[in-house]
């Protein structure tokens, strides 16, 4: 019986592996090209607004917007949203530089019932700048870690803040790799990698002296010491500042996917690049699709996958400055 079961298992494994193998006219096995093996993510149905950007109708007389953000589920199953959430700058302040608030909302349903909480952080009476946040549970210290962009000594830097309950946050006021990250380094995405380290993905330029728009990975175990930045994607499109934004990395059915916004080409454009490895993504040859959305984040909640969009941080769009959400699907190529 064990022998027969072993034969059956071998047959199943061979059948699974053959799905990714084609044959030429001489019946020689050839692995399918990466783009044909990839599943293609797509937006299912309508992307709908889930809450208003403005804290309340009578909060002030300004129009408000959202921008880069993240979703995180707490240990009780509640979903939290953290993100850039500000009024358009008053007279004398500049767009993209006036970021005094970090918004915080919670819900028990990704698409509705969002409740606004006090701002996670408030710099309205000090530096007036809080940039894109990302929050992850740090298992080793039993705390929540938030990486975000802040202004220190009038320079924008990436910083870590800590929380035990996702409500009260303690800032470190210490820059991550202050000598290696530049003014355009921003928009963190964090995941725990298969190496056991936490991977912080950011956009930047000039890593290892190369003038590109880049996505970098910075590895850490404790969010106090950090490995040297590694370039996982580079686009030869500039000589000064990165033109891409809001990277996210995920693994799906054995392949890796990198999503990023090409905001300086089209604001609501999220490009998806596929790879066999999380260490290198080839934009020129392996872009699998383009999704509608700005600063998109993909997350799972209560058995469903979602993709978000936000903004814009510009008043040329008159009807939507908030966060929208849709279900995410994956199209299998046969």
* pLDDT score for 181: 82
Q: What is the full DSSP assignment across 125-180?
A: TTT-BB---EEEEETTTTEEEEEEEEEETTEEEEEEEEESSSSS-EEEEEESSTTT
* Six-digit token string for 130: 């809080």
Q: In the structure, what pLDDT confidence band is assigned to residue 5 with cuts at 50, 70 and 90?
A: low
Residue 263 above 90 pLDDT? no
Confidence of residue 27 (pLDDT cuts 50, 70, 90): low
Q: Which residues partner with 304 through β-bridges?
A: 301
Are 136 and 160 in contact by the 8 Å Cβ rule? The answer is: no
Q: Looking at the predicted structure, is the pLDDT value of residue 101 above 50?
A: yes
Domain map (residue ranges) of the chain: 1-32, 34-331
Share of residues in the chain with pLDDT > 90 (%): 76
pLDDT at residue 329 is higher than 90: yes
Instruction: Give me the mean pLDDT over the 222-249 stretch.
Output: 93
- Residue 319 — very low, low, confident or very high, per pLDDT cuts 50/70/90? low
Question: Do 101 and 130 meet the contact criterion of CB atoms below 8 Å apart?
Answer: yes
pLDDT of residue 26: 55
Q: What confidence tens digit (pLDDT) does each residue in 46-60 have?
A: 999 999 999 998 999
Which residues touch 231 (CB under 8 Å, ≥6 apart)? Answer: 207, 208, 210, 212, 214, 215, 216
Q: Give the pLDDT of residue 311.
A: 84
- Which two tokens mark 280? 């290198």
Note the pLDDT of residue 241.
85
Residue 317's pLDDT band (boundaries 50, 70, 90)? low
Quote the pTM value. Answer: 0.90
pLDDT band for 22, please (50, 70, 90 cuts). Answer: low
Per-residue model confidence (pLDDT) at position 266: 84
Q: What is the CATH number of domain 34-331?
A: 2.115.10.20
Q: Single out the residue of 120, 89, 111 nearest to residue 323, CA to CA.
A: 111
In sequence order, the 6+-apart residues with CB closer than 8 A to the CB of 209 are none
Judge residue 244's burial from the number of C-beta atoms within 10 Å of its C-beta, 0-12 exposed, 13-18 middle, 19 or more buried.
buried
252 torsion bin: left (phi>0), alpha (psi -120 to 50), beta (else) = beta
Mind listing the pLDDT tens digit for each residue in 148-172? Answer: 999 998 899 999 999 999 999 999 9
Of residues 237 and 120, which shows the higher confidence score?
120
Element holding 101 (H helix, E strand): strand 101-107
- pLDDT tens digits for range 112-141: 999 999 999 999 999 999 999 999 999 999
Tell which phi-psi region holds residue 286, choosing left (phi > 0), alpha (psi between -120 and 50) or beta: alpha
Nearest-5° Cα angle at 89, 153 to 145:
50
Mean residue pLDDT of the chain comes to 90
Strands 245-252 and 230-235: unpaired
């Amino acid at each position: 019986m064990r022998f027969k079961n072993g034969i059956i298992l071998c047959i199943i494994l061979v059948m699974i592996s053959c799905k990714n193998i084609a044959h030429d006219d001489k019946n020689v096995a050839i692995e399918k090209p990466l783009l044909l093996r990839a599943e293609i993510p797509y937006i299912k149905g309508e992307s709908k607004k889930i809450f208003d950007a403005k804290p309340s109708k009578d909060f002030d007389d300004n129009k408000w917007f959202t921008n880069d953000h993240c979703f995180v589920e707490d240990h009780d199953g509640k979903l939290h949203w953290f993100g850039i959430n500000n009024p358009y700058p008053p007279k004398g302040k500049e767009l993209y530089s006036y970021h005094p608030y970090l918004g915080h909302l919670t819900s028990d349903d990704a698409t509705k019932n969002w409740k606004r909480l006090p701002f996670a952080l408030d710099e309205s009476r000090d530096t007036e700048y809080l940039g894109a946040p990302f929050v992850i549970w740090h298992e080793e210290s039993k705390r929540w870690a938030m990486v975000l962009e802040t202004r220190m000594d009038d320079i924008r830097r990436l910083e870590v803040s800590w929380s035990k309950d996702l409500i009260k946050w303690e800032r470190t006021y210490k820059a991550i790799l202050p000598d290696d990250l530049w003014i355009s380094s921003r928009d963190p995405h964090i995941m725990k990698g298969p190496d056991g380290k936490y991977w912080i993905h950011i956009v930047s330029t000039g890593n290892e002296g190369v003038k590109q728009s880049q996505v970098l990975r910075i590895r850490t175990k404790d969010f106090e010491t950090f490995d040297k930045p590694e370039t996982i994607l580079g686009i030869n499109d500039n000589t000064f500042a990165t033109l891409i934004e809001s990277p996210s990395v995920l693994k799906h059915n054995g392949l890796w996917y990198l999503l990023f916004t090409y905001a300086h080409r089209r604001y609501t454009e999220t490009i998806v690049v596929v790879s066999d490895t999380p260490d290198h993504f080839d934009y020129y040859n392996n872009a699998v699709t383009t999704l509608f959305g700005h600063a998109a984040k993909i997350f799972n909640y209560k058995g469903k996958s979602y993709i978000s969009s936000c903004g814009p941080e510009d008043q040329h769009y008159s009807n939507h400055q908030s966060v929208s959400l849709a279900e995410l699907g994956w199209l299998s190529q046969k």
